[in-house]
Amino acid sequence: MSQERSECEQLRRDVEVALERSDPLRVLPLLHRLAARAKDGSEDAVFAHRQLAEVLLERDPWRAALHARRVVRMRDGDDRAWAALGLSQSLLGNHQYACHALARAHTLAPDNAWYAHNLGHTLDVALDKPREAVRYLRRAFDRSDKNPDVATALVHALARAGKTKTARALLVRVTQESPSPERRTLLRWIDAGARGRAAVLGVVQLFASRDAEEPVTSTRRTPTRARRSRSLRRVLEDALRRGLSRLPLDDAQQRAAVQLAREAAQKSPPEDESAALGVAAAAAWAVTSRDGIPLSQAEVAACFRTSASNLRQRLPSVRARVKRS
């Protein structure tokens, strides 16, 4: 084995350890070193640039796009790279090209519900093509085990496409099963005639990217710290209930994840909704990792409507509780 190949293998092992330990300050230099040393087109080069795209996605979407483009030039059939490219372009506001990239990811992995959702929702909200969006959002809804968040995006597109009766019936059913201020606001918007875009869906809400804006409510008062804390606890509990139901965990494992999340949140209260989702996802992944369930961080994070990078950011506080117990 050549010295260069041996060094790449060691770097890749170091990267995987750093990713497991949620150590972004360490993983980024390692990934850059691996990308610089790996032969263009090799597995190591594809791995390094894809990981850089995913790690940088939320903090620096422009750089993430550069790495994702590098991957698709080396390997046009890499659905993860196309998905990262689409998400980065959405964050940059380049929605036309984002749809091109997301459509390519969806073509390569048609059973991936999140690719279909991201493509459909971008078509609906960003490009004002709700009729075209419905096809993808129906597919996402069916393949996501009737995910209530995907259902909300489908309802929005259906209503804007003129199918208000179908949209309202679906929304009422979903709201009964998974109530939220966002869905109640969406119902009022439909009853008022579904004109324009709903305020709660006025930005592109993409899985594995930045979280959606906070739902519009009837009050304009600034929430007190106590009310904000209660609201975030509800976000955490709702996320645990929804996310854990989509994972292959038994009752004991689900209880363990809930306890881990609650203890972590009590010790370090989440500062916003994104943090609450990250804590829930990190607790679930800690249990799957502990019990040898073969799921990636990205797969677990998707069940909680958040990103792998957000999960990794919250993992140290959760792992501390795993070690203590």
Q: What is the 3-state secondary structure (H, E, C) of 196-213?
A: CCCHHHCCCCCCCCCCCC
Residues 6+ apart with CB under 8 A from 272: 232
Q: Do domains 1-104 and 110-218 have the same CATH topology?
A: yes
**Residue 292 confidence (pLDDT) above 80:** yes
Q: Report the pLDDT value the prediction gives residue 12, as an integer from 0 to 100.
A: 78
Domain residue limits, the chain: 1-104, 110-218, 225-324
**What fold does the segment set 225-324 form as a domain?**
Cyclin A; domain 1 (1.10.472)
Classify each residue of 251-268 as buried b or exposed e, where b means 16 or more C-beta atoms within 10 Å of its C-beta.
Answer: eebbebbbebbbbbbeee
Mean of the per-residue pLDDT values of the chain: 82
| Fold assignment, 1-104 | 1.25.40
CA 228 to chain centre: 23
Q: Enter the tokens of residue 198.
A: 């709903």
Q: What angle do CA 83, 199, 160 make, to 5 degrees?
A: 75
Task: Please give the structure tokens belonging to residue 323.
Answer: 């070690």
C-alpha atoms less than 13 angstroms from C-alpha of 255 in its C-beta half-sphere: 3
Second-level CATH architecture of 110-218: Alpha Horseshoe (1.25)
Asked if the model's pLDDT at residue 217 lies above 70, the reply is no
How do residues 131-179 score in pLDDT, each as one tens digit? 999 999 999 999 888 888 889 999 999 999 999 999 999 999 998 988 8
Q: Are 148 and 174 in contact (CB under 8 A)?
A: yes
**Residue 93 buriedness (CB in 10 A; 0-12 / 13-18 / 19+):** exposed
